[in-house]
């Protein structure tokens, strides 16, 4: 069974065939680093992390590039509000980003280029666009892209220039030949950070950096370009226009877009102000719960964020950890590593069908049940356990120590263990009143006891 992916460019699922048989070049639009990441950002990172992992599992050598936009109007504004240099701000936010995304279990991409480190690439591409008459210097001195010069403008978003203009909310700007023309190089005002260019001191427009950085790392033509649905227009449309017009080649071949995170059926976004940062959420929930929550919905569907949804994700994850916990002392050595032969076909088929993590999870839970059953029956579980671990590793959940998962936090372990021992004695003496009193007291403080033939264990709820 081979991999098929939904290509936004053609609005249909297509068989995935990379340019080179064993290699995949993938570019994902990262974040503008002026503030902490919210759950919407978390979704992109987790979604493409899973895609990255699955492509790797399929045997592809994946060159995964994800950028940082570290210069733009919002960054300049925020830095000036805080009275710091933009680099101080962006370094701080990049560090926070790495921490947040790392906590979600995302593997680092192959490259994480920063826009400010690619000025020559951008200047070169803009120069090419000017030379080919796809760009012009406006009366304000900014370099603009002439959308009418690119025949295929609108191919990704399925729009045509005239439709866009009829319903456009864009302010008409006299310096533009067409209202949809967008800036490639923005002239610096006094005091603003600036870089040299043939058109004067300034900074790049937002869209050019991704065209330049993706081409510079992956070549003019590469396999996958991804990002949030909201980037489809105008950002990705403009990227295509820039890249294709400057190198007369094609650009990314498969465009993958993930759906939004919603709150109360409304998109979570900075502009609406209805967002939760990753760090806010992980104050109350383990980051892996957030990952589980994201994996529970197919990446192209909207994802409704709420405490009850996180609670449900946590309950499901707890169930997996309960099983993991039963392996205490059992070795699975040499069988934990990913191996296609270990993965149930249902899981593989689900992942090969446009990365359907929801269905893959269903397969995982089936294995979970089979495993618990086998454990109950004291049967040999080595194969099931290896399958279970392989699937967990591919989704990057269940990655923590099961005991720590249930017992973590600020609890007095010694005291609890002492009480459990005391209850054990009471049970032996058939003083159930005393035993139950101890258990009830612990429940009152959020500690649940679980008896088993091999002894009593506990967990925090």
Partner RNA sequence: GGCAGGGUGGCUCAGUGGUACGGCGGAGGACUGCAAAUCCUUUAUUCGCGAGUUCGAUUCUCGCCCCUGCCUCCA
Structure tokens that stand for 444 in this block: 């009152």
10 in contact with RNA (CB under 7 A): no
What minimum distance in Å lies between the beta carbon of 170 and RNA?
A: 4
Binding segment toward RNA, per CB under 7 A, in 92-100, 122-130, 277-285, 305-313: 305-313
What minimum distance in Å lies between the beta carbon of 201 and RNA?
A: 22
Residues 25-44 that bind RNA (CB under 7 A): 29, 31-32, 40-41, 43-44
Cβ-based nearer residue to RNA, 139 or 308:
308
Cβ-based nearer residue to RNA, 61 or 367:
367
Beta strands 182-187 and 202-204, pairing class: antiparallel
Q: From residue 128, give the alpha-carbon distance in Å to each of 31, 122, 220, 247, 371.
A: 27, 10, 14, 8, 60
448 in contact with RNA (CB under 7 A): yes
Q: What character string, x for contact with RNA (CB under 7 A) and - otherwise, covers 172-191?
A: --------x-x---------
What minimum distance in Å lies between the beta carbon of 348 and RNA?
A: 14
Dihedral pair phi/psi, residue 307, rounded to 5°:
-60, -40
Residues 242-261 that bind RNA (CB under 7 A): 258-261
Binding segment toward RNA, per CB under 7 A, in 83-91, 110-118, 388-396, 429-437: 429-437
Residue 359 near residue 365 (C-beta atoms within 8 A): no
**What one-character-per-residue DSSP string does 90-159 give?**
HHHHHHHHHHHHHHTTPPPPSB--BGGGGHHHHHHHHHHHHHTTSEEE-TTS-EEE-GGG-TTTTTTTT-
Binding segment toward RNA, per CB under 7 A, in 59-67, 154-162, 212-220, 245-253: 154-162
Cα radius of gyration rounded to whole Å, the chain: 26
Cβ-based nearer residue to RNA, 195 or 365:
365
Options 92, 128, 192, 359; binder of RNA; rule CB under 7 A: 359
Beta strands 202-204 and 4-7, pairing class: unpaired
- Those residues with Cβ within 8 angstroms of residue 388's Cβ, 6 or more apart along the chain or in another chain: 323, 364, 367, 368, 371
Dihedral pair phi/psi, residue 123, rounded to 5°:
-60, -40
Q: Coil, helix or strand for 231? A: helix
439 in contact with RNA (CB under 7 A): yes
392 in contact with RNA (CB under 7 A): no
169 in contact with RNA (CB under 7 A): yes
For residue 457, the 8-state DSSP code is E
What minimum distance in Å lies between the beta carbon of 360 and RNA?
A: 9
Options 57, 128, 192, 353; binder of RNA; rule CB under 7 A: 353
Cβ-based nearer residue to RNA, 227 or 287:
227
Residues 197-236 that bind RNA (CB under 7 A): 206, 227-235
């Amino acid at each position: 069974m081979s991999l098929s992916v939904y290509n936004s460019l053609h609005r249909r699922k297509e068989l995935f065939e990379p340019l080179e048989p064993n290699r995949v070049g993938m570019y994902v639009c990262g974040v503008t680093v002026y503030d902490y990441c919210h759950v919407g950002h978390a979704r992109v990172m987790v979604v493409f992390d899973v895609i990255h992992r699955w492509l790797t599992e399929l045997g592809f050598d994946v060159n995964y590039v994800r950028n940082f936009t570290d210069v733009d109007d919002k960054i300049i504004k925020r830095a000036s509000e805080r009275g710091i240099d933009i680099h101080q701000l962006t370094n701080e936010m990049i560090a926070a980003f790495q921490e947040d995304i790392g906590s979600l279990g995302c593997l680092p991409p192959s490259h994480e280029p920063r826009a400010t480190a690619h000025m020559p690439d951008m200047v070169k591409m803009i120069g090419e666009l000017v030379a080919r008459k796809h760009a012009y210097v406006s009366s304000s001195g900014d370099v603009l892209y002439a959308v009418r010069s690119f025949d295929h403008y609108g191919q990704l978003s399925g729009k045509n220039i005239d439709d866009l203009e009829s319903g456009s909310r864009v302010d008409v700007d006299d310096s533009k030949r067409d209202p949809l023309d967008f800036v490639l190089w923005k002239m610096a005002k006094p005091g603003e950070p600036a870089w040299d260019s043939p058109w004067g001191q300034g900074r790049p427009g937002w869209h050019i950096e991704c065209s330049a950085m993706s081409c510079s790392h992956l070549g003019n033509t590469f396999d996958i370009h991804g990002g949030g649905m909201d980037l489809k227009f105008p950002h990705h449309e403009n990227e295509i226009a820039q890249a294709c017009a400057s190198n007369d080649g094609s650009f990314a071949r498969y465009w993958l877009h993930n759906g939004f995170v919603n709150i109360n059926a409304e998109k979570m976004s900075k502009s609406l102000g209805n967002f939760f940062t990753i760090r806010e959420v992980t104050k109350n929930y383990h980051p892996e719960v957030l990952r589980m929550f994201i994996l529970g919905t197919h990446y192209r569907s909207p994802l409704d964020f709420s405490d009850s949804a996180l609670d449900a994700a946590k309950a499901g994850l707890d169930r997996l950890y309960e099983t993991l916990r039963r392996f205490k002392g059992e070795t699975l050595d040499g069988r934990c590593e990913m191996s296609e032969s270990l993965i149930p076909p249902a899981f593989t088929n689900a992942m090969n069908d446009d990365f359907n993590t929801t269905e893959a999870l269903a397969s995982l839970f089936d294995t979970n049940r089979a495993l618990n059953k086998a454990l109950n029956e004291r049967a040999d579980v080595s194969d099931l356990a290896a399958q279970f671990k392989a699937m967990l590793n591919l989704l990057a959940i269940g990655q923590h120590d099961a005991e720590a998962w249930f017992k973590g936090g600020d609890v007095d372990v010694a005291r609890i263990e002492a009480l459990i021992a005391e209850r054990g004695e009471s049970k032996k003496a058939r003083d159930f009143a005393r035993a139950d009193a101890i258990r009830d007291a612990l429940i009152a403080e959020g500690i649940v006891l679980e008896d088993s033939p091999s002894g009593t264990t506990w967990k925090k709820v």
